[in-house]
Copies of this chain bind each other. A is one copy, B any other.
Amino acid sequence: NGILVKSVAEYNDAVSNAEPGDIIKLANGVWKDAELVFEGKGTEENPIKLTVEEKGKVTLEGASNLQIAGDHLIVEGLVFKNGFTPTNAVISLRKNKDEMANNCRLTECVIDNYNNPERQVQDYWITIYGKNNRIDHNHISGKKNLGVTMIVGLDTKDSRENNHIIEHNYFGLRPTYGNNGGETLRIGTSHHALENSNTLVASNYFDRCNGEHEIISNKSCQNTFKYNTFFECTGTLTMRHGNETMVDGNVFIGNGKPSTGGVRVINEKQTVINNYHFGLTGYRFRGAFVMMNGVPNSPPNRYVPVIDSKVNNNTFINCDHIQLCAGADAERSQPPATSEISENIFYHETKSNLFTVYDDISGIKFENNITSKNIETGITKGFVKSEFELVKNEQGFLVPVSDKFKVEISPNIATKENTGVDWYSKNDETVALNSGETLKVEPGINTLFDVTKNSKPGDILELESGGEYLLTKTAKIIHPLTFKTSGSEKATILFERMMAFEIQNGGSLSLDNIIFDGAKSPDYAGNSVISTSKNSMIENYKLFIDNCEFKDLIVNHSFDVLRVAKGTFADTISIQNSRFKNITGHIAALDKETDDIGAYNVEYLIMKNNTFSDIQGAALRLYRGGTDESTFGPFLEMDHNVADNVGQGKRNKYDASVSLYGVQEIGIKNNIFKDSKALNMHLVVGEPIVQISNNNFYNSQGLTVTGDQKYTVENQWSLNPNFM
């Protein structure tokens, strides 16, 4: 009853003839564009199994996918990579709304970077329907396009009270998506929030699942989350909808990484116990622990108030933010009630004010919580200070030790080793900037093009001091590359195409100590020094500009420094210590996501110590449309920049030298604006954090703020800077 199949036709034959106990094996090799349906009726004793000839030697590529429907079926060892599903799921535990999988097992399967190249086209990777299915020891890594990685669907009665078990799976890297729809696991939807799902999620390892705020979006009742490890994830296990959730014995490791979070509580009868949190730095909706305010008589798709919930015996080591009554606003006006926070331990080496209380906490009973000596909760009772040490336990966790309590972490806790499969690597293949070799580039025509073309990821292209480089072809940046002048006199790059550099999918760019001169650029509107691919980029990119000079970008109008496209997303754009002079366009207009569905173009934007002079367009335009609260970007930091005659061009439609819309965190300080257009900001979505201080607007329009009016302005001057 072991049947080796070598083609989809043979496979289909085998499936349609399969009897209980049969084992169908996909032959070693690449299965391209294989849309497999695995259906049949096994028995508990004699399931029908789909597996592979040899594990790790069978891959499904191109437009492949799998649908499972029937009873007592086992799928094992399939690897999906180098392609993407043409339908809305890579692996679906149903064939259609009526034919689904029950008592089935999906085990030791791999889905690795199997992404639709269009980051804004949605799919799921695993959709779970039916009942009593077990999803275990799978390796699911690198989802980068729109859509939750794994869902449990409850859209028909036959998928509710399902008793699914999701365990020992390895959920690998999911980078910041830059919009809603980057969750890793969702159980239910708001439409079925009050149905019982009864799903157990146990001992799974979530490794940098950073897609959005919700690593896990719980949207149904009576689910249990146990012994899962969340490693450096910039989000929370969120009880978004539904009641009676049990969150017990999980571990959240932040290691001090930005925006790492823990558990977020909404709704009723939630239990959060025995969890361990370490080095979580996130705040607002990504705090180490967040209990939200609710909406009175909330519709199911808004925020049901917290009642009858219990937070007991959790440990927080060096976690920066505990947020109570979070999200309190005119709509979310109902604080938690008849709930308790008890016997938790809070330790912090340096920070004393961990707790932020946004509304009335009288509905929360605080009891027997313990804090380290330095912590001031501001909450009048239910906390005692205690002296204790941190000791690394045998599992490697730093736990507090005292004779008053004992912090234990279950031996069932997920580790990188005990999850996923052992025959598929969990290592990152990401190459960092500056990690490669240094390649010297001679001055001349297209020398830079040629060396770029032959470079390897991470390489550093070293230009000669004072050298002149002409690009008659655009240098395509297909992997991380650094360009720098060695020596004191910056090399100059000129270019005959509409852009010198084009960052393509997988590329990142660092520019250091170089002059860019627009003199040879074509006489057409819309040139730029750097452009992203005009096609969607599924990989986030990075751009660093340091100590560079951009001058005379004046051939025709709308000559920008950086021109990005819709469907591209930068983790970081950093522009520092650079000079920009005589430019007909913008320095950077990051506003190509005009659909207002919540997408934006960059997470962190940093501009420091730059001078901008005679710029007809804006120094910066940053736009985030829509009203989605699943993400926190963009973050903007502008510090010590000088703008001299910026934004005055008649084509500058932003009517500003810096124009911000929907940016979530804004720090603008120590900047000088002379003879320049305004700084304008439209504040929307959630509660943007806005700090404007020590800026000088001389003979310039000043600050204009529309939208929300919560922001801080300090020390705004209007002094003549007397540039020389």
Q: A543 → chain B, closest Cβ, in Å?
A: 19
- Distance in angstroms between the alpha carbons of A535 and B537 in the assembled complex: 11
- Distance in angstroms between the alpha carbons of A263 and B596 in the assembled complex: 45
**Judging by beta carbons under 8 Å apart, are B88 and A472 in contact?**
yes
Closest to A471 in B: B87
**Judging by beta carbons under 8 Å apart, are A472 and B87 in contact?**
yes
**Judging by beta carbons under 8 Å apart, are A189 and B523 in contact?**
yes
**Judging by beta carbons under 8 Å apart, are B472 and A597 in contact?**
no
A392 at the interface (CB under 8 A from B): no
Closest to A625 in B: B653
**Judging by beta carbons under 8 Å apart, are A445 and B596 in contact?**
no
**Judging by beta carbons under 8 Å apart, are A525 and B598 in contact?**
yes
Contact of A566 among B146, B189, B498, B566 (CB under 8 A): B566
**With A120-B526, A181-B524, A534-B535 as given contacts, are A496 and B445 in contact (CB-CB < 8 Å)?**
no
Closest to A527 in B: B122
**Judging by beta carbons under 8 Å apart, are A445 and B96 in contact?**
yes
A432 at the interface (CB under 8 A from B): no
**With A534-B118, A567-B534 as given contacts, are A595 and B526 in contact (CB-CB < 8 Å)?**
yes
Contact of A87 among B497, B534, B557 (CB under 8 A): B497
Q: A19 → chain B, closest Cβ, in Å?
A: 27
Interface residues as binary, A648-687 with B (CB distance below 8 Å gives 1, 0 otherwise): 0001010000000000000000000000000000000000
CB contacts (< 8 Å) of A598 on chain B: these are 525
**Judging by beta carbons under 8 Å apart, are A653 and B445 in contact?**
no
**Judging by beta carbons under 8 Å apart, are B122 and A498 in contact?**
yes
CB contacts (< 8 Å) of A474 on chain B: these are 86
- Distance in angstroms between the alpha carbons of A526 and B594 in the assembled complex: 11
CB contacts (< 8 Å) of A567 on chain B: these are 534
A702 at the interface (CB under 8 A from B): no
Q: Which of A181, A498, A627 has the most CB of B within 10 A?
A: A498
* Overall SS of chain A's interface: loop
In the complex, chain A residues 620-636 whose Cβ is within 8 Å of any chain B Cβ: 625-628
**With A558-B596, A566-B566 as given contacts, are A147 and B524 in contact (CB-CB < 8 Å)?**
yes
Q: A511 → chain B, closest Cβ, in Å?
A: 21
CB contacts (< 8 Å) of A498 on chain B: these are 121-122
**Judging by beta carbons under 8 Å apart, are A558 and B88 in contact?**
no
Interface residues as binary, A150-163 with B (CB distance below 8 Å gives 1, 0 otherwise): 00000000000000
Closest to A35 in B: B473
In the complex, chain A residues 505-527 whose Cβ is within 8 Å of any chain B Cβ: 522-526
In the complex, chain A residues 270-322 whose Cβ is within 8 Å of any chain B Cβ: none
Q: A505 → chain B, closest Cβ, in Å?
A: 12
Closest to A560 in B: B595
CB contacts (< 8 Å) of A565 on chain B: these are 566
Interface residues as binary, A697-712 with B (CB distance below 8 Å gives 1, 0 otherwise): 0000000000000000
CB contacts (< 8 Å) of A88 on chain B: these are 472, 496-497, 522
Q: A79 → chain B, closest Cβ, in Å?
A: 22
- Distance in angstroms between the alpha carbons of A596 and B594 in the assembled complex: 14
**With A189-B523, A565-B566 as given contacts, are A87 and B473 in contact (CB-CB < 8 Å)?**
yes
**Judging by beta carbons under 8 Å apart, are B522 and A122 in contact?**
yes
A220 at the interface (CB under 8 A from B): no
**Judging by beta carbons under 8 Å apart, are B597 and A526 in contact?**
yes
CB contacts (< 8 Å) of A653 on chain B: these are 596, 625
Q: A213 → chain B, closest Cβ, in Å?
A: 16
Q: A176 → chain B, closest Cβ, in Å?
A: 18
Q: A214 → chain B, closest Cβ, in Å?
A: 15
In the complex, chain A residues 86-122 whose Cβ is within 8 Å of any chain B Cβ: 86-88, 96, 118, 120-122
- Distance in angstroms between the alpha carbons of A445 and B524 in the assembled complex: 48
- Distance in angstroms between the alpha carbons of A598 and B526 in the assembled complex: 10
Q: A181 → chain B, closest Cβ, in Å?
A: 6
A59 at the interface (CB under 8 A from B): no
CB contacts (< 8 Å) of A96 on chain B: these are 445
In the complex, chain A residues 482-540 whose Cβ is within 8 Å of any chain B Cβ: 496-498, 522-526, 534-536
Closest to A592 in B: B594
Some 18 contacts from A to B, beta carbons below 8 A apart, are A86-B474, A87-B472, A87-B473, A87-B497, A88-B496, A120-B534, A121-B497, A121-B498, A122-B524, A147-B524, A525-B597, A534-B567, A558-B595, A566-B566, A592-B594, A594-B594, A625-B653, A626-B651
Q: Which 6 pairs of residues, A with B, have the shortest CB-CB distance?
A: A525-B597, A86-B473, A526-B597, A87-B472, A535-B535, A122-B524
